[in-house]
Structure 1
Amino acid sequence: MARIAFILLCHKDPKGVIAQAKRLTASGDYVAIHFDARANPKDFELITAALADNPGVVFAAKRWKCGWGEWSLVGATLDTVRAAVDSFPLATHFYMLSGDCMPIKSAEYAHAFLDAEECDYIENFDFFGSDWIKTGFKEERLIYRHWFNERTQPKLFYSSFNLQKRFKVTRQVPADIQVQIGSQWWCLRRRSIERVLEFCDSRPDVMRFFATTWIPDETFFQTIVPHVVPRKELRARTLTYLVFTDYGMPVVFHNDHYDLLIGQNYLFARKISPEAIRLRERLGALWAATGVHFPISNEATGLFKFLTGRGRIGRRFAPRFWETDGSLGRENSLRLIVGKKWHVAKRLTAAIRANTDIPAVDYLFNEANAHLPDLGGVETTVEKRQRHRRALIKLLFEQFESNRLVICLDPSALHLIQDLMADKADTRILLIDSQFDEDYVRGHIGRVGLAGPETPPGVIDRLVPTVRADLEHEAERIRDVEFTHFHSVAPWRSAEDNAVQIANFLDVMPDTAHRIVSTDYLFSD
């Protein structure tokens, strides 16, 4: 009978990881865990303590700091696979999972499914000939070297790329391999995994090549497995069900999706909402069940596309994704930097990006250029962002693959600040106190269109005290609300006082906070 070693890559939700590991090992299977080194150390301690006595659980020897699109994801996977191969000699199959996955079949069904056919399940489509990549880089992923992360280091990423492109510094794909692409969620037999590891040990040239490709988790295993396993033993599909919105984001499943999910011809599904407690309970119990019959309909993907398509022509059979689950999620931490002097707030977000791994964007509801990643067109206009503000923030959590996010807001948007502070997410506010001298107020009058080049000086003189009072009143209104998690920094306070506020606001160490507030000209006009 098949015995599965699950390769579990995760970075949050320690209680969910513990429950997942206990559930999967209770069926006689195994779990090898990699917990992101960027995550909260206390979460990892909680997981290791809870699973220390479980003989069916092993941890990767090295914890990688993982970043979307980086080799680190493949490196973490390989280390976790090696731990599983060494620790579980009875494992017949190795199955990639994330912390957002849940079973949609019973263990009994999964074992019988894998026993029925001697093959591997991994998407592997021709990199150049298929249309798997819809937008963005394609050939550029391979022929240029990528040392930096596009999301956290965009300037370095694109500067490096543009320099290589300008000076035609390209490279060839190793001659004896055909690059393939597909989903990172695979299930491979033991012999296939051993062949992959043998290949990795014997071909340092290929390892070096993939280590500097862009998004190698979509190409590495997808290329190596067909290279070492006969084609007749491969099935170009994943056993993990996932579906994407027309914005290119994974659909999140909720409590009312149970019947839909178990009818799909897959063994697991992602992403299951952390707040879908009832769904998680039912799917968890399903894994342990016996004698369950699963009528396979496979209608979910077609139904989703049909319903969202009907919505676009005005017949609303299903809510848009931004209308469902309005909360940002209890597991997410949102930090609001509120400042009237935008240049000061943007220096602060730049310092946060430089000194921490916390994603930080600028005035996303006010400015076109706000350090946003590619969101499939949602981010292209400020008007579009403002129409679906809450959805945009949820997309950013997904796109950055982080449960932490910093955004900037203007103090005039008090209603939005109150709305976000009332969310289930862990939301905090940092007010940047400012002094508004004569030059700043006059410049502000021009920027907001209260006066133009032809406005008489006397009119502007009369406007100055009124506008200054209004600017000061915006900050006072925010203070008067008396938000629970309120912090503030100011140019007239000491660096030590400001560092304490930053440390509490971001949940970072004091020395990190001090580096942030020590940014040159942080408060300068």
Structure 2
Amino acid sequence: MAISPAVPACIVLAHEDPAHVRRLVEALDPFPVFLHCDARTPETVFRAMTDGLPDRVRLLPRIRTGWARWENVAAEVSGYRAALAETDASHVAVLTGSDYPLANPAEITALLEAHREESFISVNPLPFAPWGRDGGISRIRFRHWAWRKHMLRLPVPRRVPANVSFAGGSQLKVLARRHAAAVVDTVDQRPDLVRFWQRTWVADETFVPSVLNSPSLTPGFADEHVSQPLWWIGWDGTARKSPPWLTVADAGQLLERRTDADVEVQHLFARKFSTDRSGDLLDVVDAAFGLRQGAATGSASARRDAAAVVAP
């Protein structure tokens, strides 16, 4: 699947809402998509999500992912591995199944063309003040397990690996090809780090940032990234574990964030959206940025089937 150098391969990590996932895939046309669906997702939902997808979509081996688990990183890395092997993409974007673009393919390509060798990711060295009193150090220092969206911590400090510059950041990112390859190489060549991060709290917020932030693992990264997120997320200031769903009431704020002339790098994506709550807003976004113009050529029956499925 050879493609133009300044085009991203897109990893989509999904577990529900097949209708929105299909809409997202359409909005990402013509970019190649590597879709992971949680192994816990019911078969009916999985089939509604994946039946009849275009040839530019590859289905990744299904892993049992979940809140705060290492397996989220494993799914992400499987996407990097496949994208690097099957495309010539200059960048790899990591999205969830509740994301959506705020830019058309030409705009996305133009930004990547201007930053061919650079990643877009905020890498925050630990301790990081917004992560609590210890700045997130406890995530690394102790062994953790996730159980029904609760944290279980073994209160015995453990030895941390040497020559790793620990950092945190969002799972949502756009990595330059070389940086995505560095993450895959670390997983393949450093099983000790994989074992360590299997018991690290919310590993998908620290593993990749730490690999990239460590000169021993990714030399030169400090001068090869733009420390600005490309996602607009509708946090509303309330205490919550995940951001609120966006609705048409958020249209003004959303479009303003995308078109603000004072922002050096415009947001290319936003979250989070759902079919039930965000349909009208997504129509506004499509019209504003010229998305899904070829959607009518897709499988209308498959989209209807997806819309009829409601994940438990």
TM-score normalized by structure 1? Answer: 0.49
Q: 1:93 is matched by which residue type in structure 2?
A: H
The 4+ residue runs of structure 1 with deviation greater than 6 A are 330-333
Q: Which residue of 2 is the match for residue 263 of structure 1?
A: 256
The answer to whether the aligner puts 1:84 opposite 2:83 as a matched pair is yes
In the alignment, which of 209, 213, 225 is matched to residue 222 of structure 1? 209
SS of the residue corresponding to residue 93 of structure 2 reads strand
Paired amino acid for 1:260: Q
Residue correspondence of structure 1 range 19-418 to structure 2 within 5 A? 19-25=23-29, 28-51=30-53, 54-61=54-61, 63-88=62-87, 90-117=88-115, 118-128=117-127, 130-134=128-132, 138-146=136-144, 148-152=145-149, 154=150, 158=152, 161=153, 164-165=154-155, 169-227=156-214, 228-230=218-220, 231-249=222-240, 250-264=243-257, 265-274=266-275, 275-288=277-290, 404=312
Unpaired runs of 5+ residues, structure 1, are 290-329, 334-402, 405-525
Query: 1:241 touches 1:270 (CA, 8 Å); kept in 2?
Result: yes
* Gap change, CA 1:197 and 1:287, over 3 Å in 2: farther
> Letter of the aligned partner of 2:253 in structure 1?
L
Per the alignment, in what secondary structure is the counterpart of residue 58 of structure 2? strand
Asked if structure 1 preserves the Cα contact closer than 8 Å seen for 2:17 and 2:274, the reply is no
Distance (whole Å) between structure 1 residues aligned to residue 90 and residue 26 of structure 2: 19
Which entry has the higher C-alpha Rg, 1 or 2? 1
* SS of residue matched to 2:34: strand
Aligned partners of 2:89 and 2:43: how far apart in 1?
30
Distance in 2 between residues matched to 1:41 and 1:110, nearest whole Å: 33
| CA distance, structure 2, for counterparts of residue 73 and residue 243 of structure 1 | 22
Greater helix content: 1
**SS of equivalent to 1:95:** strand
Distance 1:17 1:131 in 2: 34
Counterpart in the other structure of 2:261 = none
SS in structure 1 of the partner of residue 130 of structure 2: coil
Distance 1:9 1:75 in 2: 11
CA–CA distance in structure 2, aligned partners of residues 9 and 205 of structure 1: 25
Give the RMSD, CA atoms, in angstroms. Answer: 2.4
CA distance in 2 between partners of 1:143 and 1:70 (Å): 16
Following the alignment from structure 2 to structure 1, what is the Cα–Cα distance between the partners of residues 287 and 6? 20
Deviation at 1:288, TM superposition (A): 3.9
Give the aligned residue type for 2:60.
A
Following superposition, the deviation at residue 135 of structure 1 comes to: 6.3
Counterpart residue type for residue 183 of structure 2: V
Cα offset for 1:125?
0.7
Which ranges of structure 2 fall in alignment gaps of 5 or more residues? 258-265, 292-306
CA distances 1:384-427 after superposition (whole Å, capped 9, x unpaired): xxxxxxxxxxxxxxxxxxx64xxxxxxxxxxxxxxxxxxxxxxx
Instruction: Give the match's secondary structure for 2:129.
Output: coil
DSSP 3-state at the match of 1:257: helix
Instruction: Measure how far apart 1:226 and its partner are.
Output: 2.5
Query: Contact conserved, 2:18 with 2:309, CA < 8 A, in 1?
Result: no
Structure 2: how far apart are the matches of 1:75 and 1:252? 26
Larger mean CA deviation between 190-199 and 215-224 belongs to 190-199
Secondary structure, aligned partner of 2:25:
helix
**Residues in 2 aligned to 1:5 and 1:248: alpha-carbon distance in whole angstroms:** 34
Measured in 1, the distance between the counterparts of 2:228 and 2:56 equals: 27
Give CA-to-partner distance per residue, 1:254-273, whole Å, 9 cap, x none: 11333432332200000124
Task: Name the SS for the 2:12 alignment partner.
Answer: strand
Residue 36 of structure 2: SS of its match in structure 1? strand
In the TM superposition, what are the counterparts of 1:466-481 in structure 2 within 5 Å? none
Tell me, what secondary structure is at the counterpart of 1:170?
A: coil
CA deviations over 1:211-243 (Å, ceiling 9, x no partner): 110111110111112220521112222211114
Q: Letter of the aligned partner of 1:253 in structure 2?
A: L
CA change 1:284–1:82 in 2 (3 A) is farther
Instruction: Indicate if the aligned counterparts of 1:18 and 1:50 stay in contact, CA closer than 8 A.
Output: no
For residues 229 and 2 of structure 1, the distance between their equivalents in structure 2, rounded to whole angstroms, comes to 23
Residue identity in the other structure for 1:182 = G
Aligned residues of 2:129 and 2:135 also touching (Cα < 8 A): no
Contact 1:106 1:286 in 2 (8 A): no
Residue identity opposite 1:245 in structure 2: D
Shift of 1:82: 1.5
Measure, in 1, the Cα distance between the counterparts of 2:137 and 2:9: 34
1:2-27 Cα offsets, whole Å, 9 max, x none, are 211111011111122122213313xx
Identity of aligned residues (%): 28
Q: Give distance in 1, aligned partners of 2:248 and 2:133.
A: 32
Distance 1:150 1:132, change over 3 A: farther
Question: Which structure's residues are more often strand, by fraction?
Answer: 2
Aligned to 2:295: none
**Cα offset for 1:136?**
8.7
SS of the residue 2:52 aligns to: helix
Contact 1:240–1:268, Cα closer than 8 Å, also in 2: yes
Q: Greater RCO between the two (CA within 8 Å, min separation 6)?
A: 2
| Number of aligned residue pairs | 277
